[in-house]
Amino acid sequence: MADRATYHYCPRCGTALAPRHDGERERLACPGDGCGFLHYDNPTPVVAALVEHEGEVLLVRNQGWPESWLGLVSGFLERGEGPEEGVLREVAEELGLTGEIVSLIGVYGFESRNEVIVAYHVRAAGTVSPSHEIAAVKRVPPGRLKPWAFGTGRAVADWLARRADGSAP
C-alpha cells in the first residue's frame, strides 16, 4: 500500500496551491483564475483483512517495509467498488486466495496517515501465492497473535477480545 502524498500543485490546472482560510479552517486552495479548486485533504478509507486460512491468521510484510513489520492485508478501494468487494479483491491480489467476509471487525481512525481503516474478518481458501507487492507472509495461530499498537493492530486486538469472550467466530 503506497502513501498518498498531499498535493502541492492544483490537479485541475497545475497552479501552485496556497493556503486559504475558508471560514472553518485553513486549506490549500488554487489561486488560479476561475479555477476554484480547494484541497479538502479528507481521510481516505483503507480496507483491511484479518485473513484466517486453515485455522491460522496470515500476516503480510509489504515490499519496502522494515524486516520486523507485519500487518494485515490492506489497500485502497477502486472507484465503483464497495468495501466488502474491495477487501476480497485485495485478499485475492495479494495472497492469491478466495475469501469470504465473516464479519466487520471495526472502523478505526488512522490520523497520522490521514486514513480510516475498515477492517474485516475474512476466511480464505486456496493455495497462498503472494503478489510481487508482498515480501513475506507469516502464518500465526490465533493464540499467538500479538496486536500492535497502531493502525490495523487495533482491529487485531478487538478480534482477539471477541474470540476470547465468545462473541465472535
Q: Are 87 and 47 in contact (CB under 8 A)?
A: yes
Contacts with 145 (C-beta within 8 Å, 6 or more apart), sequence order:
57, 156, 160
Q: In what order do the strands lie in the sheet with 18-21?
A: 18-21, 26-29, 38-39
For the bound state, the minimum distance from the C-beta of residue 9 to Zn ion, rounded and expressed in Å, comes to 8
Nearer to Zn ion among residue 15 and residue 114 (C-beta): 15
Which grid coordinates are listed for 122?
Answer: 475474512
Among 4, 12, 138, 139, binds Zn ion (CB under 5 A): 12
For the bound state, the minimum distance from the C-beta of residue 153 to Zn ion, rounded and expressed in Å, comes to 39
For the bound state, the minimum distance from the C-beta of residue 16 to Zn ion, rounded and expressed in Å, comes to 9
Nearer to Zn ion among residue 31 and residue 109 (C-beta): 31
Nearer to Zn ion among residue 13 and residue 107 (C-beta): 13
Query: Mask 47-76, x = binds Zn ion (CB under 5 A)?
Result: ------------------------------
DSSP secondary structure string, 16-54?
A: BPEEEE-SSSEEEE--STTT--EE--PPEEEEEEEEEET
Q: Does 10 bind Zn ion (CB under 5 A)?
A: yes
Nearer to Zn ion among residue 13 and residue 161 (C-beta): 13
Nearer to Zn ion among residue 7 and residue 37 (C-beta): 37
Tell me the residue ranges of DSSP E strands in 40-158.
Answer: 44-53, 56-62, 73-76, 98-110, 115-125, 134-140
List binders of Zn ion among 13-42 (CB under 5 A). Answer: 13, 15, 30, 32, 35, 37
Phi, psi of 156 (to 5 degrees): -60, -45
For the bound state, the minimum distance from the C-beta of residue 43 to Zn ion, rounded and expressed in Å, comes to 23
For the bound state, the minimum distance from the C-beta of residue 10 to Zn ion, rounded and expressed in Å, comes to 3
Task: Collapse the DSSP code of 144 into the 3-class scheme (helix H, G, I; strand E, B; otherwise coil) and give the result.
Answer: helix
Residues that bind Zn ion (CB under 5 A): 10, 12-13, 15, 30, 32, 35, 37
